[in-house]
Amino acid sequence: MESRGTKRGAGKIEVAEPWNKLPLLAPSLPTNPALYAGPFPFYRRPSELGCFSLDAQRQYHGDARALRYYCPPPTNGQSPNFDLRDGYPDRYRPRDEEVQERLDHLLCWVLEHRGRLEGGPGWLAGAIVTWRGHLTKLLTTPYERQEGWQLAASRFQGTLYLSEVETPAARDQRLTRPPLLQELMYMGYKFEQYMCADKPGGSTDPSGEVNTNVAFCSVLRSRLGNHPLLFSGEVDCIDPQAPTAQPPSCYVELKTSKEMHSPGQRKSFYRRKLLKWWAQSFLPGVPNVVAGFRNPEGFVCSLKTFRTMEMFEYVRNDRDGWNPSVCMNFCAAFLSFAQNTVVQDDPRLVYLFSWEPGSPVTVSEHRDAPHAFLPTWYVEAMTQDLLSPPKTPSPKD
């Protein structure tokens, strides 16, 4: 997973310099894939610093109570025949998407562990803190043709925090989501229910409620180029039979997709969906994605395991495919752009990075509500640390 990046020649974007030594960049960042071709940049093998859980009421707990265990059906040559529509909508309790959670749950974890972070007391001051999902969007940006994004950034006590902002287009899509799409979202969670048990060696129970408030999240440390990263992402399950019990190498990502019958369908799947699966699993170092392929009636007909490090092989010879180096080089360039743009240390000052397909990334400056995203309880507790030694509080939401 580790690979050294190199600085590229004149006219190309530098990705390997520390943010505070970079010259001032232009106020926009291009996203054309051709600009980011080149050697794969250095990416430190992700190591898990800790974890937390969110319960059925979406309350934070600094432990692994929500972790589930991979429990695939026996491989006896028969179709799994999982009914992904079972329980919809009667046994479905979706998370309230109107609630803007921002980085709050991850910040609870940082507050609890800030005094004993691996890398020493000064490590956090040079790091970038964000969700894995935000980094995933950055990785896929050079190849994205439909959905734009907005990322808010603030610097506080040296640390750069990145938090996604829902675009007006994304909000419109969410509020007008057709019933079929809502059911497809349910089916993805239902598949997890068929594939996971509550304890090692336990059995699955697809008769229960599907509650998408519940989540187990891993907190990881890595480094892309010269950018130290602290990020968190939801983990579907742990494989008790994995060759190593060391997280994140024992984690498994679960996905559903429609059955494919033609070469055109497969090519489209490899170019688009597999790119997102790769980005989502490569970042935290999750080695395997197990996919359930469903028929039009909503039954899983087959299972297939995709090894994260082998996904690129499906598009390596496709001239319209994606390239991992381009994804990671663009992400590194964006992080340099953000580090160099957000120079003022002020939790109320927000730089909003915006991107639409076919355009460069642009940035605008804002202050206070509604853009400021670092909560008062976090800012006050971290500020108090400068006046007295840190202790473990119980953060209020």
User: Average per-residue pLDDT in the chain?
Assistant: 92
Q: Which residue has the higher pLDDT, 14 or 351?
A: 351
What is the C-alpha separation between 115 and 120, in angstroms, rounded? 9
At 15-37, the pLDDT tens digits run 333 334 333 445 899 999 999 99
SS (H, E, C) 313-343: HHCCCCCCCCCHHHHHHHHHHHHHHHHHHCC
159-187 tens-digit pLDDT: 999 999 999 999 999 999 999 999 999 99
pLDDT of residue 391: 52
Greatest Cα-to-Cα distance within the chain, rounded to the nearest angstrom = 65
pLDDT score at 390? 52
pTM of the model: 0.92
CB 47 within 8 A of CB 230: no
Determine the Cα–Cα distance for residues 396 and 60; give it in Å rounded to an integer.
Answer: 10
Provide, rounded to the nearest whole percent, the portion of the chain with pLDDT above 90: 87
- The C-alpha atoms of residue 211 and residue 218 are separated, in whole angstroms, by 19
Sign of the CA dihedral with 240 first, then 242, 245, and 247 last: negative
Dist. CA 140–CA 145, nearest whole Å: 10
Q: What CA–CA distance (Å, rounded) separates 237 from 202?
A: 13
More reliable by pLDDT, 23 or 123: 123
Return d(Cα 104, Cα 95) in angstroms, integer: 16
The phi and psi torsions of 53 (rounded to 5 degrees) equal -130, 150
Determine contact, residues 337/361, Cβ cutoff 8 Å: yes
Structure confidence by residue, pLDDT tens digits, 249-286: 999 999 999 999 999 999 999 999 999 999 999 999 99
pLDDT of the residue at 18: 38
Quote the CA–CA distance of 153 and 373 in Å, as a whole number.
9
Q: Would the pLDDT of 368 be above 90?
A: yes
Instruction: Give the burial class of 180: count Cβ atoms within 10 A of its Cβ; 0-12 exposed, 13-18 middle, 19 or more buried.
Output: exposed
Question: 293, 96, 50, 45: which is closest to 191 by C-alpha?
Answer: 293
- CB contact set of 7 (below 8 Å; sequence gap of 6+): 14, 15, 16, 17
**HSE (side-chain half, CA atoms, 13 Å) at 70:** 19
Q: Which helix (H) or strand (E) holds 133?
A: helix 132-140
% the chain with pLDDT above 70: 91
